[in-house]
Amino acid sequence: MTISYSMSTKSIKVKIFGNEYPLRGENEDFTKQIAEYVDTMLTKIHDKIPEQPPLTVAVLSALNITEDLFKERDRRQQDVGSLEREIVKLSNYLDNCLMSETAEQSG
């Protein structure tokens, strides 16, 4: 997913933290969903610390979003690792079953 200001696709107007932005993305609904997530994060941070300037709110929001991304990547890696271990177990089990069957047929 790439969001840009290029002129190659239809412009999608989104509102983030009170400002409207014309964005371009491969999927309009997905682009709107991302913009809504960013807007929600900015609003949540601003509500907690309303005295901070918009740049500080934006940086803290970016850090929170990045933290969410890194946590999700870690979860995915753990899931992939678990699946790989289960696949090895199943593969070994099937190999043992096939070897036992082959031994019975030749014996």
Q: What is the mean pLDDT of residues 87-107?
A: 90
Question: Please, are residues 25 and 51 in contact by the beta-carbon 8 Å criterion?
Answer: no
In one letter, which amino acid is 94? L
Does the pLDDT of residue 1 top 80, yes or no?
no
Instruction: Show me where the domains of the chain are located.
Output: 11-106
Q: 5 or 73: which carries more pLDDT confidence?
A: 73
Rg (CA), the chain: 25
pLDDT at 9: 73
Note the pTM of the prediction, 2 decimals. 0.72
pLDDT at 105: 83
